[in-house]
Structure 1
């Protein structure tokens, strides 16, 4: 899973990625590899251990905001 994260994501300044998008991508990967996925909280801890200094932000309009990882993007 750590290698998969490093293969698919990279740190970048000034970009953000919805947490739910990242977790759903991970669930899909787990299903394809026939692995048992961890819950969202444990996945968040894993991401923070892989990408040091990652920040979270709440983006969106009032009542419709979502948490995003700030400083992380999908590799091209």
Structure 2
């Protein structure tokens, strides 16, 4: 609260409400036609906005070669 003074010298207090607690804003719902389209895509196994796509994750994963993250192979004992 910040006191303010008028020209007559009287003190006035102005109350500014605190912002609402950190409650998330309500999420707008999708139109019915959009929900139906999302359902149809999901039924066919297609990628959906806002959801992880397992196929994309698999394709974008780095290729790990055999022995890349383990000890080097041990050479044969016969000296070859």
Q: TM-score range by the shorter chain?
A: under 0.3
Structure ranking higher in helix proportion? 1
Q: TM-score, normalized by length of structure 2?
A: 0.20
After TM superposition, the score normalised by the length of structure 1 is 0.21
Which has the bigger relative contact order, CA under 8 A and spacing at least 6?
Answer: 1
